[in-house]
Structure 1
Amino acid sequence: MGHGQAGFTKQMARNVFYGGSVFFALLFAAIVFHSEQRIPQRSNSAAITPQVVAGKKIWETRNCIGCHTLLGEGAYFAPELGNVYLRRGPDFIKAWMKIQPTHTPGRRQMPQFNLNEQQLDELVEFLKWTSQVNTEKWPPNIEG
Protein backbone atom coordinates (compact mmCIF):
# COMPACT_ATOMS: atom_id res chain seq x y z
CA MET A 1 0.00 0.00 0.00
CA GLY A 2 1.29 3.43 -0.84
CA HIS A 3 1.20 6.48 1.38
CA GLY A 4 -1.89 7.85 -0.41
CA GLN A 5 -4.17 4.91 0.44
CA ALA A 6 -5.48 4.52 3.97
CA GLY A 7 -7.28 1.18 3.34
CA PHE A 8 -10.07 -0.12 5.52
CA THR A 9 -9.37 1.18 8.99
CA LYS A 10 -10.65 -0.05 12.31
CA GLN A 11 -12.75 3.10 12.57
CA MET A 12 -14.40 2.34 9.20
CA ALA A 13 -15.04 -1.27 10.24
CA ARG A 14 -16.57 -0.07 13.51
CA ASN A 15 -18.82 2.38 11.63
CA VAL A 16 -19.99 -0.34 9.22
CA PHE A 17 -20.69 -2.70 12.14
CA TYR A 18 -22.63 -0.16 14.22
CA GLY A 19 -24.40 1.36 11.20
CA GLY A 20 -25.43 -2.08 9.95
CA SER A 21 -26.53 -3.17 13.41
CA VAL A 22 -28.71 -0.08 13.84
CA PHE A 23 -30.16 -0.44 10.33
CA PHE A 24 -31.12 -4.11 10.79
CA ALA A 25 -32.44 -3.53 14.32
CA LEU A 26 -34.75 -0.82 12.94
CA LEU A 27 -35.75 -3.04 10.02
CA PHE A 28 -36.55 -5.89 12.44
CA ALA A 29 -38.62 -3.54 14.64
CA ALA A 30 -40.56 -2.33 11.58
CA ILE A 31 -41.31 -5.89 10.47
CA VAL A 32 -42.46 -6.90 13.97
CA PHE A 33 -44.68 -3.80 14.21
CA HIS A 34 -46.22 -4.56 10.80
CA SER A 35 -46.91 -8.19 11.80
CA GLU A 36 -48.41 -7.17 15.14
CA GLN A 37 -50.78 -4.76 13.38
CA ARG A 38 -52.08 -7.56 11.13
CA ILE A 39 -52.64 -10.20 13.83
CA PRO A 40 -56.17 -9.15 14.93
CA GLN A 41 -57.39 -9.12 11.33
CA ARG A 42 -55.75 -12.42 10.41
CA SER A 43 -56.67 -14.22 13.64
CA ASN A 44 -60.34 -13.26 13.37
CA SER A 45 -60.21 -12.40 17.07
CA ALA A 46 -63.39 -10.31 16.82
CA ALA A 47 -65.32 -13.55 16.28
CA ILE A 48 -64.15 -15.18 19.54
CA THR A 49 -67.32 -15.73 21.55
CA PRO A 50 -67.80 -17.44 24.92
CA GLN A 51 -68.89 -20.54 22.95
CA VAL A 52 -65.61 -20.54 20.99
CA VAL A 53 -63.66 -20.25 24.26
CA ALA A 54 -65.65 -23.13 25.79
CA GLY A 55 -65.02 -25.20 22.65
CA LYS A 56 -61.29 -24.59 22.93
CA LYS A 57 -61.40 -25.82 26.53
CA ILE A 58 -63.04 -29.03 25.32
CA TRP A 59 -60.33 -29.32 22.64
CA GLU A 60 -57.64 -28.95 25.30
CA THR A 61 -59.13 -31.08 28.08
CA ARG A 62 -59.84 -34.01 25.71
CA ASN A 63 -56.29 -33.75 24.28
CA CYS A 64 -57.54 -33.67 20.69
CA ILE A 65 -54.12 -32.39 19.58
CA GLY A 66 -52.63 -35.66 20.81
CA CYS A 67 -53.99 -37.30 17.64
CA HIS A 68 -55.14 -34.46 15.34
CA THR A 69 -53.40 -31.44 13.88
CA LEU A 70 -54.93 -28.00 14.12
CA LEU A 71 -53.59 -25.58 11.50
CA GLY A 72 -50.66 -27.95 11.04
CA GLU A 73 -49.73 -28.21 14.74
CA GLY A 74 -50.16 -31.42 16.67
CA ALA A 75 -49.95 -35.16 16.06
CA TYR A 76 -50.33 -36.75 12.66
CA PHE A 77 -52.35 -39.84 13.65
CA ALA A 78 -55.68 -38.35 12.63
CA PRO A 79 -56.87 -35.75 10.08
CA GLU A 80 -56.26 -31.99 10.19
CA LEU A 81 -59.17 -30.25 11.93
CA GLY A 82 -58.43 -26.58 11.20
CA ASN A 83 -60.57 -26.85 8.09
CA VAL A 84 -62.90 -29.70 9.07
CA TYR A 85 -65.80 -27.27 9.52
CA LEU A 86 -65.48 -26.21 5.88
CA ARG A 87 -64.87 -29.79 4.64
CA ARG A 88 -67.61 -31.59 6.58
CA GLY A 89 -69.92 -29.08 8.26
CA PRO A 90 -71.33 -28.89 11.79
CA ASP A 91 -73.86 -31.73 11.50
CA PHE A 92 -71.22 -34.21 10.31
CA ILE A 93 -68.81 -33.20 13.09
CA LYS A 94 -71.43 -33.74 15.79
CA ALA A 95 -72.65 -37.03 14.29
CA TRP A 96 -69.05 -38.28 13.94
CA MET A 97 -68.30 -37.51 17.58
CA LYS A 98 -71.43 -39.38 18.70
CA ILE A 99 -70.68 -42.63 16.82
CA GLN A 100 -67.10 -43.08 18.07
CA PRO A 101 -65.45 -45.53 18.16
CA THR A 102 -66.58 -46.91 14.79
CA HIS A 103 -64.74 -50.26 15.16
CA THR A 104 -63.88 -50.09 11.45
CA PRO A 105 -61.19 -52.71 10.72
CA GLY A 106 -57.80 -51.24 9.87
CA ARG A 107 -58.72 -47.79 11.12
CA ARG A 108 -57.39 -46.11 14.25
CA GLN A 109 -60.20 -45.70 16.71
CA MET A 110 -61.21 -42.34 18.13
CA PRO A 111 -62.41 -42.47 21.76
CA GLN A 112 -65.96 -41.72 22.78
CA PHE A 113 -65.85 -38.52 24.82
CA ASN A 114 -69.58 -38.56 25.69
CA LEU A 115 -70.02 -34.85 25.01
CA ASN A 116 -73.50 -33.44 25.54
CA GLU A 117 -75.26 -31.30 22.90
CA GLN A 118 -74.00 -28.05 24.40
CA GLN A 119 -70.40 -29.31 24.43
CA LEU A 120 -70.72 -30.54 20.85
CA ASP A 121 -72.06 -27.13 19.79
CA GLU A 122 -69.18 -25.41 21.61
CA LEU A 123 -66.59 -27.66 19.97
CA VAL A 124 -68.17 -26.99 16.57
CA GLU A 125 -68.07 -23.23 17.23
CA PHE A 126 -64.37 -23.49 18.07
CA LEU A 127 -63.71 -25.44 14.86
CA LYS A 128 -65.81 -22.94 12.89
CA TRP A 129 -63.75 -20.04 14.28
CA THR A 130 -60.54 -21.94 13.55
CA SER A 131 -61.62 -22.42 9.93
CA GLN A 132 -61.96 -18.62 9.57
CA VAL A 133 -58.39 -17.80 10.71
CA ASN A 134 -56.39 -16.45 7.78
CA THR A 135 -53.57 -19.00 7.58
CA GLU A 136 -52.68 -18.05 4.00
CA LYS A 137 -53.77 -21.52 2.89
CA TRP A 138 -51.83 -23.50 5.49
CA PRO A 139 -51.72 -26.46 5.76
CA PRO A 140 -51.45 -27.03 2.00
CA ASN A 141 -53.04 -30.50 2.13
CA ILE A 142 -56.78 -30.26 2.78
CA GLU A 143 -56.79 -33.36 5.01
CA GLY A 144 -53.62 -32.25 6.79
Structure 2
Amino acid sequence: MNKVKASGFTKQMARNMFYGGSVFFIFVFAALIFDSERKIPFRSNAEAITPAVERGKGLWETRNCIGCHTLLGEGAYFAPELGNVYKRRGPEFIKAWIASQPTHIPGRRQMPQFNFSEEQLNDMVEFLRWTNNVNTENWPPNIEG
Protein backbone atom coordinates (compact mmCIF):
# COMPACT_ATOMS: atom_id res chain seq x y z
CA MET A 1 0.00 0.00 0.00
CA ASN A 2 1.38 3.43 -1.03
CA LYS A 3 1.28 6.18 1.45
CA VAL A 4 0.04 9.46 0.07
CA LYS A 5 2.24 12.40 1.01
CA ALA A 6 0.55 15.48 2.27
CA SER A 7 0.87 18.21 -0.30
CA GLY A 8 2.98 21.05 1.01
CA PHE A 9 5.71 23.37 0.00
CA THR A 10 8.54 21.24 -1.37
CA LYS A 11 12.15 22.08 -2.15
CA GLN A 12 11.40 21.76 -5.85
CA MET A 13 8.54 24.26 -5.58
CA ALA A 14 10.78 26.68 -3.71
CA ARG A 15 13.55 26.29 -6.30
CA ASN A 16 11.10 26.85 -9.16
CA MET A 17 9.72 29.98 -7.50
CA PHE A 18 13.25 31.30 -6.90
CA TYR A 19 14.41 30.73 -10.48
CA GLY A 20 11.13 31.85 -12.01
CA GLY A 21 11.03 35.00 -9.87
CA SER A 22 14.69 35.73 -10.60
CA VAL A 23 14.18 35.45 -14.35
CA PHE A 24 11.04 37.59 -14.19
CA PHE A 25 12.76 40.40 -12.26
CA ILE A 26 15.85 40.24 -14.49
CA PHE A 27 13.54 40.93 -17.43
CA VAL A 28 11.83 43.76 -15.53
CA PHE A 29 15.22 45.28 -14.64
CA ALA A 30 16.42 44.95 -18.26
CA ALA A 31 13.23 46.64 -19.50
CA LEU A 32 13.74 49.55 -17.07
CA ILE A 33 17.36 49.96 -18.20
CA PHE A 34 16.28 49.92 -21.85
CA ASP A 35 13.57 52.49 -21.16
CA SER A 36 15.97 54.79 -19.28
CA GLU A 37 18.65 54.53 -21.97
CA ARG A 38 16.09 55.33 -24.63
CA LYS A 39 14.98 58.51 -22.81
CA ILE A 40 18.41 59.91 -21.91
CA PRO A 41 19.16 61.57 -25.28
CA PHE A 42 15.87 63.49 -25.10
CA ARG A 43 16.41 64.62 -21.50
CA SER A 44 20.14 65.34 -21.34
CA ASN A 45 20.27 68.69 -23.17
CA ALA A 46 23.56 67.47 -24.72
CA GLU A 47 23.00 69.50 -27.89
CA ALA A 48 23.41 72.69 -25.83
CA ILE A 49 26.90 71.85 -24.55
CA THR A 50 29.27 74.58 -25.67
CA PRO A 51 32.96 75.22 -24.93
CA ALA A 52 31.84 77.69 -22.23
CA VAL A 53 29.72 74.99 -20.59
CA GLU A 54 32.71 72.62 -20.67
CA ARG A 55 34.98 75.24 -19.12
CA GLY A 56 32.36 75.95 -16.45
CA LYS A 57 32.12 72.24 -15.64
CA GLY A 58 35.90 72.18 -15.35
CA LEU A 59 35.72 75.03 -12.82
CA TRP A 60 32.95 73.19 -10.96
CA GLU A 61 35.14 70.09 -10.71
CA THR A 62 38.51 71.70 -9.97
CA ARG A 63 37.06 73.98 -7.27
CA ASN A 64 35.21 71.02 -5.70
CA CYS A 65 31.89 72.83 -5.68
CA ILE A 66 30.14 69.48 -5.28
CA GLY A 67 31.92 69.11 -1.94
CA CYS A 68 29.37 71.58 -0.52
CA HIS A 69 26.60 71.97 -3.12
CA THR A 70 24.31 69.47 -4.80
CA LEU A 71 23.78 69.56 -8.52
CA LEU A 72 20.72 67.72 -9.84
CA GLY A 73 20.50 65.86 -6.56
CA GLU A 74 24.14 64.68 -6.47
CA GLY A 75 26.74 65.99 -4.07
CA ALA A 76 26.91 67.31 -0.54
CA TYR A 77 23.97 68.81 1.31
CA PHE A 78 25.98 71.50 3.08
CA ALA A 79 25.03 74.32 0.70
CA PRO A 80 22.05 74.90 -1.65
CA GLU A 81 21.09 72.79 -4.66
CA LEU A 82 22.33 74.55 -7.80
CA GLY A 83 20.57 72.58 -10.54
CA ASN A 84 17.94 75.31 -10.84
CA VAL A 85 19.83 78.34 -9.48
CA TYR A 86 19.85 79.94 -12.93
CA LYS A 87 16.06 79.96 -12.97
CA ARG A 88 15.82 80.99 -9.29
CA ARG A 89 18.29 83.86 -9.29
CA GLY A 90 19.51 84.64 -12.81
CA PRO A 91 22.99 85.11 -14.26
CA GLU A 92 23.83 88.50 -12.75
CA PHE A 93 22.97 87.36 -9.23
CA ILE A 94 25.11 84.22 -9.64
CA LYS A 95 28.12 86.25 -10.78
CA ALA A 96 27.69 88.83 -8.03
CA TRP A 97 27.25 86.15 -5.36
CA ILE A 98 30.38 84.25 -6.37
CA ALA A 99 32.41 87.47 -6.59
CA SER A 100 31.23 88.72 -3.18
CA GLN A 101 32.34 85.65 -1.21
CA PRO A 102 33.09 85.24 1.62
CA THR A 103 30.44 87.52 3.10
CA HIS A 104 31.75 87.38 6.69
CA ILE A 105 28.17 87.43 8.02
CA PRO A 106 28.28 86.06 11.57
CA GLY A 107 26.63 82.67 11.96
CA ARG A 108 26.50 82.04 8.21
CA ARG A 109 28.49 79.39 6.41
CA GLN A 110 31.14 80.92 4.20
CA MET A 111 31.84 80.07 0.58
CA PRO A 112 35.49 80.56 -0.39
CA GLN A 113 36.63 83.31 -2.73
CA PHE A 114 37.83 81.71 -5.94
CA ASN A 115 39.01 84.95 -7.58
CA PHE A 116 37.38 84.05 -10.89
CA SER A 117 38.01 86.26 -13.89
CA GLU A 118 35.00 87.69 -15.74
CA GLU A 119 35.36 84.95 -18.36
CA GLN A 120 35.41 82.25 -15.67
CA LEU A 121 32.30 83.73 -14.05
CA ASN A 122 30.58 83.68 -17.44
CA ASP A 123 31.66 80.05 -17.96
CA MET A 124 30.31 79.03 -14.55
CA VAL A 125 27.01 80.78 -15.32
CA GLU A 126 26.82 78.99 -18.68
CA PHE A 127 27.39 75.65 -16.96
CA LEU A 128 24.66 76.40 -14.42
CA ARG A 129 22.34 77.59 -17.22
CA TRP A 130 22.95 74.33 -19.05
CA THR A 131 22.19 72.23 -15.94
CA ASN A 132 19.03 74.27 -15.41
CA ASN A 133 17.80 73.11 -18.83
CA VAL A 134 18.39 69.38 -18.30
CA ASN A 135 15.02 67.62 -18.08
CA THR A 136 15.08 66.35 -14.50
CA GLU A 137 11.35 65.64 -14.33
CA ASN A 138 10.90 68.41 -11.75
CA TRP A 139 13.94 67.79 -9.56
CA PRO A 140 14.48 69.44 -7.15
CA PRO A 141 10.90 69.20 -5.94
CA ASN A 142 10.64 72.88 -5.10
CA ILE A 143 12.09 76.01 -6.68
CA GLU A 144 14.38 76.76 -3.73
CA GLY A 145 16.14 73.42 -4.05
- Name the CA shift for 1:109/1:10 in 2 (closer, same or farther; >3 Å): closer
Offset, 1:36:
0.5
SS of the residue 1:80 aligns to: coil
2:136 counterpart residue number? 135
- Name the CA shift for 1:24/1:79 in 2 (closer, same or farther; >3 Å): closer
TM-score when scaled to structure 1? Answer: 0.83
Distance (whole Å) between structure 2 residues aligned to residue 80 and residue 15 of structure 1: 47
Q: Unaligned stretches of 5+ in structure 2?
A: none
Check the 8 A contact 1:52/1:122 in 2, yes or no.
yes
1:84 counterpart residue number? 85
Q: What is the letter of the counterpart of residue 46 of structure 2?
A: S
Distance (whole Å) between structure 2 residues aligned to residue 111 and residue 9 of structure 1: 65
SS of the residue 2:134 aligns to: coil
- Name the CA shift for 1:76/1:26 in 2 (closer, same or farther; >3 Å): closer
Deviation readout 1:23-59 (Å, 9 max, x if unpaired): 3222221111111110121121221222111111100
- Name the CA shift for 1:15/1:80 in 2 (closer, same or farther; >3 Å): closer
SS of the residue 1:23 aligns to: helix
**Aligned pairs, number:** 143
Distance (whole Å) between structure 2 residues aligned to residue 113 and residue 45 of structure 1: 28
Deviation readout 1:98-144 (Å, 9 max, x if unpaired): 12122222222211101111111111111001111121222224333
Distance (whole Å) between structure 1 residues aligned to residue 15 and residue 112 of structure 2: 63
Mean CA deviation greater in 132-141 or 116-125: 132-141
Q: Unaligned stretches of 5+ in structure 1?
A: none
Check the 8 A contact 1:58/1:123 in 2, yes or no.
yes
TM-score when scaled to structure 2? Answer: 0.83
Matches within 5 A, 1:115-130: 115-130=116-131
2:54 counterpart residue number? 53
2:107 counterpart residue number? 106
1:94 counterpart residue number? 95
SS of the residue 1:105 aligns to: coil
Check if 1:64 corresponds to 2:65: yes
Distance (whole Å) between structure 2 residues aligned to residue 67 and residue 101 of structure 1: 14
Deviation readout 1:53-76 (Å, 9 max, x if unpaired): 111110011111122121222222
Check the 8 A contact 1:40/1:46 in 2, yes or no.
no
Distance (whole Å) between structure 1 residues aligned to residue 8 and residue 138 of structure 2: 52
SS of the residue 1:81 aligns to: coil
